[in-house]
Structure 1
Amino acid sequence: MRITIFGANGPTGRLLTRQALDGGHTAVAVTRRPDDFPLTDPALTVVDADVRQTTTHALDDAVAGADAVLSTLGVPFSRHRIDTYSTGAANIVAAMHRTGVRRLVVVSSTAVDHYPGRTNAPVLLRFLEPVLKRTAGKSTYDDQRRMEDIVRVSGLDWTIVRPSGLFELPFVTDYVAGQVDPEGAFTSRTDLAHYLLTLAAAPGPRATVTVSTVEHAPTMWQTVKREAFKNA
Structure 2
Amino acid sequence: MRITVFGATGGIGRLVVQQLLDDGHQVTAVVRTPAKLPLTHSHLTVVTGQLTDHQAVEQAVSGADAVISALGPSLKRSTTGTQVTDRTRTIVQAMEAHKVTRFIGLATPSLADPRDRPHWEHKVLPVAAGLMFPNALAELQGMTEAVTGSGLDYTIARISNPTNKPATGRIRSGFLGHDKVASTMSRADIAAFLVAQLTDSRYRRAMPAISN
Tell me, yes or no, whether TM beats 0.5.
yes
Q: Tell me what 1:93 maps to.
A: 92
TM-score calculated relative to the size of structure 2: 0.86
For structure 1, which runs of at least 5 residues remain unmatched after alignment? 214-232
Residues 74 and 162 (structure 1), Cα distance of their counterparts in 2 relative to 1, 3 Å cut: same
Equivalent-residue separation in structure 1 for 2:117 and 2:18 (angstroms)? 32
By how many angstroms is 1:41 displaced? Answer: 0.5
Equivalent-residue separation in structure 2 for 1:136 and 1:210 (angstroms)? 21
Q: Tell me what 1:134 maps to.
A: 130
Larger Rg belongs to: 1
Q: Tell me what 2:158 maps to.
A: 162
Residue type matched to 1:146 in 2?
Answer: G
Residues 100 and 131 (structure 1), Cα distance of their counterparts in 2 relative to 1, 3 Å cut: closer
Q: Tell me what 2:197 maps to.
A: 199
Q: Tell me what 1:217 maps to.
A: none
Q: Percent identity among equivalent residues?
A: 33
Query: Number of aligned pairs?
Result: 204
Larger deviation: 180-189 or 1-10? 180-189
SS at match of 1:143: helix
Please tell me whether the aligned partners of residues 166 and 188 of structure 1 are also in contact (alpha carbons under 8 angstroms): yes
Residues 172 and 45 (structure 1), Cα distance of their counterparts in 2 relative to 1, 3 Å cut: farther
Q: Tell me what 2:30 maps to.
A: 30
SS at match of 1:208: coil
SS at match of 1:110: coil
TM-score calculated relative to the size of structure 1: 0.79
Please tell me whether the aligned partners of residues 168 and 188 of structure 1 are also in contact (alpha carbons under 8 angstroms): yes
Residues 83-113 of structure 1 deviation map (CA, whole Å, 9 limit, x = unaligned): 2331121000011111111101111112335
Equivalent-residue separation in structure 1 for 2:200 and 2:210 (angstroms)? 16
RMSD: 2.4
Please tell me whether the aligned partners of residues 82 and 140 of structure 1 are also in contact (alpha carbons under 8 angstroms): no
By how many angstroms is 1:63 displaced? Answer: 0.8
By how many angstroms is 1:117 displaced? Answer: 4.0
